[in-house]
């Protein structure tokens, strides 16, 4: 399809002729190119370029995973303004902290054989590092072949603060207990002024990037994210993406980028301009085009919704995430997607877009 648009001067007419030439020759796009992609009046031009890159990298393959999410607690010291999931203390309505027996019961109740266990929660004020080591050991004992993808960089920093240990020591101990990967959460937007408004108590961008770099240097792969559609500008989105790309150039351990649209329900953050589906798709497309060194881009159906996630597979995304089983963070913020999707449903949704479903594990090994 892109060849048709080239012959018709389509990209030149929408002001992206030189950007299209860079994409076709594999030249890295600049910060200014990213801004032009966001400001282009024809989003299909941006999507077509991103889909071309996606096809060059993955062909018609679209990945999915049989996975299970475990949210161990929502009691959190950070009190992020945007977060609908967190509770300040255990006395608040809906507050919870799972025991190891609770988590074992959730694992045992899942009849599927997950290839990924995704564990995130909160920066709990008192749960010690030993709890998380025991949690990982529990999962490893029950699911010895499953990839355990757990914790954000913000959680790692919090564990380290409570234990009065360097973050490298925390990562070493968690790896020994069974940790295979870090999740990508807690990045939000790197711009410090926006971060001060969204999450003033959370670790800053430099700490987030440092911890991921430490994990990469230890052989721990990680994902990365961007929360968008709140107070940030296009310039701040581009800056965030460029900083992820620069970190990947240095440490090389990011496996997948997950763009997360901000969901407004139950949030204390007041937003006047609601994020449109088209803007979600454009952001995914620009991410694919700028992040030339991160192999995968996820259409996270939990927060996008299934239909927008399907459309995202034609705007640069190559991964549809997984079966999930139970998810609390996005749904607390107003996600109206299902709690779970079967493997068969995922395959049918991918085939419905004219693409080929490929089952993977958390490290994108094809199964």
Q: Tell me the mean pLDDT in the region 184-211.
A: 96
Is residue 39 domain-shared with residue 123, that is, in the same domain? no
**Residue 6 pLDDT level (bands cut at 50, 70, 90):** low
User: Looking at 54, 73, 94, which one is the last position of a domain?
Assistant: 54
Residues 12 and 92 placed together within one structural domain of the fold: no
Residues 42 and 183 in one domain: no
Q: What is the mean pLDDT of residues 194-214?
A: 96
Q: For residue 187, is pLDDT > 70?
A: yes
Predicted local confidence at residue 98, as pLDDT: 96
In whole angstroms, what is the distance from residue 185 CA to residue 259 CA? Answer: 10
Number of domains in the chain: 2
Question: Is the residue at 110 inside a domain?
Answer: yes
**Cβ neighbours of residue 7 closer than 8 Å, sequence gap 6 or more:** none
Q: If pLDDT is split at 50, 70 and 90, which confidence band does 5 have?
A: low
Residues 98, 232 within the same domain = yes
47 and 146 part of one domain: no
CATH of the domain at 88: 3.20.20.70
Residue 67 contacts residue 362 (beta carbons within 8 Å):
yes
Stretch 192-220: mean pLDDT, rounded?
97
Q: What is the pTM of this model?
A: 0.93
Average pLDDT for the chain = 92
Do the domain assignments include residue 365?
no
Query: Exposed/middle/buried for 188, CB within 10 Å: 0-12, 13-18, 19+?
Result: buried
Sign of the four-CA dihedral 354, 360, 365, 367: negative
Domain that holds residue 41: 2-54
The confidence band for 325, taking pLDDT boundaries of 50, 70 and 90, is low
Question: Is the same domain home to 45 and 71?
Answer: no
Residue 29: both structure tokens together? 């796009």
**Does residue 171 belong to any structural domain of this protein?**
yes
Question: Mean of the pLDDT values across residues 1-29?
Answer: 87
Residue 33 and residue 134 in one domain: no
């Amino acid at each position: 399809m892109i060849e048709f648009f080239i012959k018709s001067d389509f990209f030149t007419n929408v002001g992206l002729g030189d950007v299209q030439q860079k994409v076709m020759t594999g030249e890295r796009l600049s910060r200014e190119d990213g801004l032009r992609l966001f400001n282009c009046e024809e989003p299909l031009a941006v999507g077509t370029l991103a889909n071309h890159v996606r096809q060059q990298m993955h062909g018609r393959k679209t990945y999915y995973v049989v996975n299970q999410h475990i949210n161990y607690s929502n009691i959190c010291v950070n009190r992020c303004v945007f977060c609908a999931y967190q509770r300040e203390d255990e006395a608040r309505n809906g507050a919870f902290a799972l025991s190891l027996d609770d988590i074992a019961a959730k694992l045992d109740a899942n009849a599927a054989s997950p290839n990924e266990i995704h564990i995130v929660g909160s920066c709990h004020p008192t749960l010690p590092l030993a709890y998380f080591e025991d949690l990982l050991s529990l999962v490893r004992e029950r699911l010895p072949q499953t990839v355990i993808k757990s914790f954000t960089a913000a959680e790692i920093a919090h564990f380290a603060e409570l234990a009065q240990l360097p973050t490298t020591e925390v990562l070493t101990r968690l790896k020994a207990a069974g940790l295979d990967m870090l999740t990508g959460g807690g990045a939000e937007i790197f711009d410090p002024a926006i971060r001060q408004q969204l999450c003033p108590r959370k670790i800053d961008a430099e700490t987030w990037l440092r911890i991921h770099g430490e994990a990469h240097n230890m052989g721990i792969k990680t994902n990365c994210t961007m929360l968008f559609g709140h107070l940030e500008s296009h310039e701040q989105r581009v800056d965030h993406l460029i900083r992820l790309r620069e970190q990947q150039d240095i440490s090389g351990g990011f496996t997948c980028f997950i763009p997360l649209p901000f969901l407004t329900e139950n949030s204390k953050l007041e937003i006047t301009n609601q994020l449109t589906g088209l803007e979600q798709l454009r952001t995914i497309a620009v991410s694919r085009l700028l992040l030339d060194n991160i192999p995968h881009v996820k259409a996270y159906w939990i927060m996008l919704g299934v239909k927008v996630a399907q459309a995202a597979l034609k705007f640069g995304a190559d991964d549809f995430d997984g079966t999930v089983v139970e998810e609390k963070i996005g749904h607390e913020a107003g996600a109206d997607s299902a709690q779970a999707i079967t493997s068969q449903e995922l395959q049918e949704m991918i085939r419905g877009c004219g693409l080929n479903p490929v089952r993977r594990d958390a490290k994108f090994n094809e199964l």
